[in-house]
Amino acid sequence: MAKTQQTPAQNSTPPAPAEGGGGRLLLLDGHSMAFRAFFALPVDKFGTSTGQSTNVVYGFTSMLIKLLRDEQPTHIAVAWDLSGPTFRHDSYADYKAGRAETPPEFPSQVELTQELLRLLGVRSVSAEGFEADDVIATLAGRGCGAGMEVLIASGDRDAFQLVNGGCTVLYPGKSLSDLTRMTPERIEEKYGVPPERYRDLAALVGEKADNLPGVPGVGPKTAAKWILKYGSLDELVAHADELTGKAGQNFRDHLDDVLRNQRLNLLAPDVPLEVGLADLVPGAADREGVNTLFDDLEFASTLRDRLFAVFTAEESGAEAGAGEDEGFSDEVAAAEPGGLGAWLAEHTGRGRTGLAFEGEWGRGTGRLSGIVAAAADGAAVHVDPAALGEEDERALAAWLADGDRPKAVHDGKGPLLAAAAHGWDLAGVTSDTAIAAYLVQPGQRKAGLVDLCRSYLNKELVRRQADGGQLSLDLDGEGADAAEAARADLAVAARATAELADRLDVLLEQRGAAVLLRDMELPLVRVLAGMERTGIAADRAYLDELEGEFAVEQRRAVEEAHRVVGREFNLGSPKQLQQVLFEELGLPRTKKIKTGYTTDADALAWLATQTDNELPAILLRHRDQTRLRTTVEGLVKTIAEDGRIHTTFNQTVAATGRLSSTEPNLQNIPVRTDAGRRIRRAFVVGEGFDVLLTADYSQIELRIMAHLSQDPTLIEAFATGHDFHAEIAARVFGTEVGEVTPEERARIKAMNYGLAYGLSEYGLSQQLGVAPKEARALMDDFFVVFGGVRDYLHEVVEQARRDGYTETILGRRRYLPDLTSDNWQRRQMAERMALNAPIQGSAADIIKAAMIDVDRALGESGLRARALLQVHDELVLEVPAGEVEDVRKLVSEKMAAAYDLRVPLAVSVGVGENWRDAAH
């Protein structure tokens, strides 16, 4: 940055374009456009789950996209104000005094916007002692002098003084997309003076935002009339005595203010800058960096796609003459009848083959309608499973099942299920690019093949047409042309998968995650596919009966609510609930929100404690019954023809490494409520089997905390064999285990798990229903006894701050860039994640390792028992008659030995004819 402060010369009008020049220079006033974005988009509607506001970044990016698309500049720069004083402050101490305080959500977004610009290859420019519009004036003058067309995007009217035949200001209107082209003609039409005299007009009228008072009673029309009559402000001053009336006298009385305004309004044409025009040609965009940033900001795909479309078009245009093809070839051969085996033997013996699949899969099964294998030598073959002859099908089945033929797939569990439905196995998979990308960046939210190719390969996943055009990857269609297009698309996808797998292999090695992919996540794919294929039996008749009971309770709650209020109303309408609760019944007001006062579950629970009115409790009961009825209805709809429910397990959703379950979600069936246990009763042992067996880890998070913290007192507490939470309570409260009250045990249990999940003192206070001060005292008492835990929790955050990530006991990383954010909310959220991720992530790693070991041991033992479900720390298996004790022993041993902690992994096992009765 230039450190020289100087007062600009008196003539700031840029010279007219020089002959023979060229190019288009786009200059943006960064803070001006950022503030426009902030106030155009509601801050409460744009934010991340970590509390980071994003309306500025989103709005600024939208404006940038429009400018790049519409104006197609060859050169671009964004000028930013710096926080220090400028030469104007030196001249006038009250310059910009009295401005409203900057919104707290704004500053951190400026840094994020500047980071985005850096990733896009767009230069940001600032100079100490000067404002952004001074930088713009200097660059505009240089651009015009070089014969360039200059465009200035700014909401600061001071920029109007720069307008001439070669320089136009793009002035924002009411919306972000509304930009008016302020040419010399437009300025003279609107303000009555030419651009070079706009500064004189502004000196007379004043600028409230800059704390530059004008002449009282003199508006733009009077000012323009005076300037046009005398030619300039200097001449107007020379003839000040000729002005009549009150306005003339006010001018003479405030002449010093006018002259000061004129001096301060002048934009500096010669700011010392470290960049030249040649430095303002946009560089190559860092797509991986942009994707990571957009993932952190939780932006949807729409904005990302619009942004990359603009930059892809620019890059394509810049490289059009180079003759380079940065995409993937769509050339593919059709398998000759009887020749597939020979093709596979010839082309796939060296290197890894990329595979792409077309078809349908889900609910534990699937169907393949097309396969492309792209070999390392560049050749690719398309296979239509329905058209295969007997010889070719045997060759394909053998090749797919050959573990010595390395293969790369993308999101391969679905194709694995579909292949199994054809009677084929898929072995030798050394990379699944969806899982590999997840291990590289667990927090990313866009893991499609198109997005990953953009992020990691800087390539668009498109199929090239013979005429040089592009078609987006799209496997849908009908007819011969559509079939040919689908084959070409599959070829592109197969080659992209292979190249992406190579790139991700390098990143996995750099981040220490290659072993996790090879030894845990890829083997787990096969285990999960087997569980999905098997499903779990459901008692449809019982579920129908249960749904009817919940429906009756739901209607009863509605009737009771209507009775209490004395009229009918919609219990599901927040607006009607606000009317009833706060206006008609006059109950205490809850938290104020945009639409009134909140009526969420927490608010209703609070109201139930604040009033004798029974309506809040009825509303809560109604919501519980509605949720339970909806859950049961959803389960009934997913029962397949085989009488079983086949959920889908997801490996790449939770950043901590935990599995999730969808369609339906069988991991959220309640276990601690009577209603939840009744729903679990509907999951039963299937035909040919005797019982369900459940096995789960006891207090695994706390055992991991003892292992990681190495706290001797905590480790000893696990070794006593007592009720663990009572043991800890006794140590904290200085009493005997047998004397610990239920309330003391409950408080310590909440404390134990709260610490493992990064719970703050406020969160603990809410959980216990006590004041934050009391919760803090409880935490202090705990840390007096367990100093090792205190030290560990402090160090894990500091280590993560230094490294930029946390790590589980098996090396799974979670990157937390917000740990160094200047936004307090984002930093606090990241610190809680840093506390939680190693413990919860380690628990996820251990149960995954156990699942793989159990599955392998069952297969090697010849037992018919099979795993059905994983619910975080719990496994559910189906066991035939005569195997219960063997399976109980096998599962207990394998789960307990999944990882060697400093305290033993305790496993609890139960059996029963249904999921509820198998609880322990």
Contact 418, 266 (CB under 8 A): no
Q: What is the token pair recorded at 384?
A: 């239509």
Least confident segment among 12-21, 175-184, 528-537, 836-845: 12-21
Hey, what are 435's tokens? 């899982």
Report, in angstroms and rounded to the nearest whole number, the Rg of the chain calculated over CA atoms: 34
Of residues 325 and 241, more confidence is placed in 241
Q: In 10 A of CB 848, how many CB atoms?
A: 25
pLDDT for the residue numbered 86: 80
Q: Residue 206: count other Cβ atoms within 10 Å of its Cβ.
A: 20
Cis peptide before 664 (omega within 30 of 0): yes
Residues ≥6 apart with Cβ < 8 Å to 432? 408, 409, 410, 411, 412, 517, 521, 522, 525
DSSP H helices, 319-389, are 340-347
Strand partners, 877: 693, 867
E strand residue ranges, 376-455: 380-383, 407-409, 429-432
> Count of CB atoms within 10 A of residue 136's CB?
31
Once rounded to an integer, what is the mean pLDDT over residues 191-210?
88
Give 468-478 pLDDT, tens digit per residue: 333 344 444 44
User: What span, in angstroms and rounded, lies between the C-alpha atoms of 751 and 759?
Assistant: 8
**Mean pLDDT of all residues in 675-689:** 95
Superfamily of domain 333-535: Ribonuclease H-like superfamily/Ribonuclease H (3.30.420.10)
Give the pLDDT confidence score for residue 724 in this predicted structure: 84
Which of 392-396, 555-559, 788-792 is predicted with the least confidence, judged by mean pLDDT?
Answer: 788-792
Output 737-746 pairs: Cβ under 8 A, ≥24 positions apart: none
Q: What is the mean pLDDT of residues 742-770?
A: 80
Confidence of residue 462 (pLDDT cuts 50, 70, 90): low
Mean pLDDT, the chain, rounded, equals: 88
Residue 326: its pLDDT value, please? 56
pLDDT tens digit string along 775-797?
888 888 888 888 999 999 999 99
Q: Which residues contact 206 (CB under 8 A, 6 or more apart)?
A: 212, 213, 214, 215, 257, 261
Mean pLDDT of 655-676: 89
Are the C-beta atoms of residues 668 and 872 closer than 8 Å to each other? no
Side chain identity at 194, as an amino acid letter? P
Ramachandran sector of residue 213 (left: φ over 0; alpha: ψ -120 to 50; beta: rest): beta
Based on the number of CB atoms within 10 Å of its own CB, is 226 exposed (0-12), middle (13-18) or buried (19 or more)? buried
pTM: 0.72
Report the alpha-carbon distance of residue 511 to residue 508 in Å, rounded. 5
Angle between helix axes 413-421 and 522-534 (nearest 10 degrees) is 50
- The highest-confidence range among 265-269, 305-309, 778-782, 898-902, by mean pLDDT, is 898-902
pLDDT of residue 288: 78
Residues 741-762, mean pLDDT to the nearest whole number? 81
Sorted by sequence, the CB contacts under 8 Å of residue 526 that are 6+ apart come out as: 416, 855
- Bigger pLDDT: 302 or 35? 35
CATH number for the region 24-183+267-280 comes to 3.40.50.1010
pLDDT band per the 50, 70, 90 thresholds, residue 483: confident
The reported pLDDT for the residue numbered 616 is 95
Q: What is the pLDDT of residue 313?
A: 55
Please give the pLDDT value at position 132.
92
Distance between CA atoms of residues 356 and 492, nearest Å: 9
Largest Cα–Cα separation, the chain = 115
Model confidence at 14, in pLDDT bands (50, 70, 90)?
Answer: very low
Q: Specify the pLDDT at position 785.
A: 87
User: Would you give the DSSP letter of residue 755?
Assistant: H
For the residues 663-667, what does the mean pLDDT come to?
A: 93
Tokens of 767: 């959980």
| Strand-by-strand arrangement of the 907-912 sheet | 866-871, 874-879, 691-697, 907-912
Closest CA to 105 of 36, 58, 32, 44: 44
Which spans in 738-823 are helix H? 742-756, 761-768, 772-785, 787-803
Q: What is the pLDDT of residue 592?
A: 82
pLDDT in tens, 217-265: 888 899 989 989 988 888 888 888 888 888 888 898 888 888 888 888 8
pLDDT at residue 314 in the model:
53
Write out the two tokens for 18.
């020089």
- Quick one: pLDDT band at residue 884, thresholds 50, 70, 90? very high
Report residue 316 as tokens.
């394509």
d(CA 868, CA 403): 26
Tokens in use for 646? 């086949």
Annotated domain spans of the chain: 24-183+267-280, 333-535
- For position 445, what pLDDT does the model report? 66
Percentage of the chain modeled with pLDDT above 90? 59
> In percent, how much of the chain has pLDDT > 70?
92
pLDDT value at 575 more than 80: yes
Cα–Cα distance, 894 to 868 (Å, whole number): 17
Q: How confident is the model at residue 824 (pLDDT cuts 50, 70, 90)?
A: confident
Would you mind telling me the total number of residues written for the chain in this entry?
Answer: 920
Does 653 have pLDDT greater than 80?
yes
